[in-house]
Structures are given as structure tokens and as C-alpha cells.
Amino acid sequence: MNKNYGFSLIELLVGILISSFIILGVAQVFISNRKVFSNNESLSRVQETGRFVMEEIAREIRMAGHMGCTNTAARMRAREVFVRIPGATNPSSFTGVDWSWDFSQPITAYEAQGTQSGQRFSSTLSTAGVWGPALPPQLRGRVAAGSDVIVIRYLGVEARNLTSPAQSDNPTLVVGGGSGFIRSGRVYGLTDCNKASVFIPTNISADGRTFIAQSVTGAEQYSINDTQVFEGRSIAYYVGPNQRGGLSLFKLELTPTNTTAPEELHDNVLNLQFMYGIDTSPTLPDGGINEYRLGDQVTGQMLGAEPVSWRVGAVRVGVLIGTDAPDVNMNDRTPRQVLGVDVTPLNGNEIRHVYERTVAVRNNLFSY
């Protein structure tokens, strides 16, 4: 007699139930691991963005006031260095110089109102904020309300030796090295350790080596022995709305023609704050930072007979970085403190982190 073997209905149902529990457990482990991986990946992006932003801004702050073998510190010591900028009606106050290439000011600060220490500000895409002093035309409508702005000026790292002396007004000069160094619409500086002259080149040769140095006078007497030519850099950093409905860090290079477009450096930068370390020692600075001030207490302000910006020896940088969190149900609207300012997020499902650093303004530091 043949016997039929198999599972009863009850056994089959029990087997299916057990299998379902196993599959459900494996799925839960997979989902949990995936969420952990996504969170770690988002946090890594936040950290990477923070490092990039800090290194970018810190590098430029360290260069502020660089003028070849002279700098702001040397200029202040008994006025032993003469700096000439076209348009200046006064060689000491530099009255009349266009702000975008006023190299007498290594740093120009714009403080977002309502973001002083202890205050709270909500991140926003709006550019209808108030800054002290007021933003110049090149920056209006670009900066997100509540974020500070810094403008950094210096004569750049790359230099070319002068191969023809400057012995007349508006001299025709030649620089050594390869082609393409002198470009139209840019600002340059001549420096020989005793003086520096800023100019806009005209009549540039095809190889970018021969040019007329407009506004440089023969009285300045630049020889070929120790004179170098640097390209001037005037750079603004700010946080503003991007085309994707978020906030990004932007870099705007300022030129006499003001035709350059801002460069978006990195997205998910939500807020930017600065504080400025000032050497308030009487008569001449001694190299020590005595107090930290906000931007509107630096730009346009005087310390005795000198601009406060000449006394900035350090800059504190604070930046709030965020990225979309993988958990759409996340709703963390806890403010993050950026240099003492409580900043609330654009939305609640952002992973956010604050980065802060103090950067020395090397060319404004004094030692005897």
C-alpha cells in the first residue's frame, strides 16, 4: 500500500510564519544598516564641506595685506613704506579710492545686523537683510540675510621681475617669465620693499609682458634690481541662495570693471560669521590681540589716527554646515551657536555642524 508524504496545512502555515519572521528580521537589519550608512555618509559630507570652507577662507585671510616684501605692518612703522593707489587724493587716508581695489585696507568687514552674540537668527534664502556698513552695489541682492561678509585684499603670490625701469610717468614696462601674466581689466602692483604702487595696465602686448603702468610716476623710481610685479587680488566671501533652493558659499573676485560672476564654492553652507581681533596698543601695535570686535566696529572706524582695519591681527571664522538628512521624518530645529549667535535651520531634516577657527592675519602682525 503506497503512503503519501507531505506537510499538513497547519505545518505549512507554521513554516510560512517562521519564514516571515526571518525575512522581516533580515529586512530590519538591512534597513537599519542602510540608515546608519546614509547617516555616516551625510556626516562625512558635512565634515568634508567644513574642512574645505575653513581652508579656503583661512588661506586668503593669511594673505591679507601682502604686498611682496612689504605689508601693512611695515607701512605703519613710522610710515616708512609709501603705498600709492590711483584715485587717492590723500596718500595717508586714501580718500577717493574705489572700494573694490582699495589695497590700503587689507580687510573690509560687513556685519549682518541682528547676529550679535547672544541673539537668535533663522536661516533664510532672503537677501533683504541689513548690514553695517551697507553692502556695496556689487554685493547687494547676493548675500543671504544674517550672514556676514568679508573682503580680503592683497598682492598675489605669483610675481614677475621687472626687466625695464620705471623712470617716467605712465612708464612702459616689461616683465620677465612666460607669456600671459599681464591681463586686461586686472589690477597689479609694483613693489620694491620700500614702496608699493597699484595700477591698471593698458596697451598690453600680445604676450602679456609689455604694458603701460597707468598712474605710476617717474618720481617713484622703480629699478630693475629689486622690483617685482604682482597681480592684485580683491575677494569677497559670503553665503547666498543658490539655484537649487538652498544656500551656498560664494566667492566674488572684484575688479575695476566689476564684470566677474560669483563662483559657487560649496553648497549646504547655511551661515557665516566673523569676529576681528584688534591690537589696541597706543601709538604703535605690539603684536598682541587685546579685544575682538564685530565687522561694523572695524570697517570705517578709526583707532587714533589709523583705520581699525590696519590693527586686525586675527580673524575668528564661524560657519554652519548642513546637509539633507536621509530620515525625512527628522525634525530637529534646535539652534546651533555660531560665534555666539544662535542660528536656526532652514528646515528640520538637516544634519548640521558648526566649525570655528581663529586665523592669524600674518601681514598685519607686528614684531620688533
Tracing cell 600674518 back to the chain, one arrives at 362
Residue 102, pLDDT above cutoff 90: no
Q: Which of 91-100, 110-119, 232-241 has maximum average pLDDT?
A: 232-241
Closest CA to 181 of 250, 225, 232, 121: 232
Residue 280, pLDDT above cutoff 80: yes
Residue 365, pLDDT above cutoff 80: no
Average pLDDT of 129-156? 95
Is residue 160 within 8 Å of 175, Cβ to Cβ? Answer: yes
Interval 289-342: pLDDT, tens: 999 999 999 998 988 878 899 899 999 999 999 886 666 566 777 889 999 999
User: Could you give the CA distance from residue 345 to residue 246 in angstroms, rounded to a whole number?
Assistant: 11
Measured CA to CA in angstroms, residue 215 lies from 70, 91, 186, 280, 299 at distances of: 20, 14, 14, 35, 27
Interval 33-68: pLDDT, tens: 666 656 666 677 888 889 999 999 999 999 998 988
Cell numbers for 206, please give them: 600680445
Q: Residue 219 has what pLDDT?
A: 77
User: Could you give the CA distance from residue 271 to residue 301 in angstroms, rounded to a whole number?
Assistant: 25
Tell whether 95 is covered by a domain: yes
User: Three-class SS string for the chain?
Assistant: CCCCCCCCHHHHHHHHHHHHHHHHHHHHHHHHHHHHHHHHHHHHHHHHHHHHHHHHHHHHHHHCCEECCEEHHHHHHHHCCEEECCCCCCCCCCCCCCHHHCCCCCEEEEEECCCCCCCEEECCCCCCCCEECCCCCCCCCCCCCCCCEEEEEEEEEEEEEECCCECCCCCEEEECCCCCCCCCCCCEEEECCCEEEEECEECCCCCCCEEEECCCCHHHCECCCCCEEEEEEEEEEEEEECCCCCEEEEEEECCCCCCCCCEEEEECEEEEEEEEEECCCCCCCCCCCCEEECHHHCCCCEECCEEHHHHEEEEEEEEEEEEECCCCCCCCCCCEEECCEEEECCCCCEEEEEEEEEEECHHHCCCC
Tell whether 7 is covered by a domain: no
Cell numbers for 127, please give them: 537677501
Tell whether 204 is covered by a domain: yes
Closest CA to 100 of 260, 304, 284: 260
pLDDT band at residue 272 under the 50/70/90 scheme: very high
Q: Residue 112 has what pLDDT?
A: 97
Residue 368, pLDDT above cutoff 50: no
Residue 235, pLDDT above cutoff 90: yes
The residue among 26 and 249 whose pLDDT is bigger is 249
Closest CA to 290 of 274, 308, 278: 278
Interval 71-86: pLDDT, tens: 776 666 645 556 777 7
Tell whether 6 is covered by a domain: no
Cell numbers for 172, please give them: 612702459
Tell whether 16 is covered by a domain: no
Mean pLDDT taken over the chain: 85
Q: Residue 342 has what pLDDT?
A: 93
Q: Residue 37 has what pLDDT?
A: 59
Q: What is the pTM of this model?
A: 0.87
Domain count, the chain: 1
pLDDT band at residue 205 under the 50/70/90 scheme: very high
Tell whether 14 is covered by a domain: no
- Domain with 224 in it: 45-364
Q: Residue 27 has what pLDDT?
A: 73
Tell whether 349 is covered by a domain: yes
Tracing cell 548642513 back to the chain, one arrives at 322
Q: Residue 356 has what pLDDT?
A: 96
Cell numbers for 339, please give them: 560665534
Residue 141, pLDDT above cutoff 80: yes
Q: Residue 157 has what pLDDT?
A: 83
User: Could you give the CA distance from residue 279 to residue 1 in angstroms, rounded to a whole number?
Assistant: 107
Q: Residue 338 has what pLDDT?
A: 95
Tell whether 229 is covered by a domain: yes
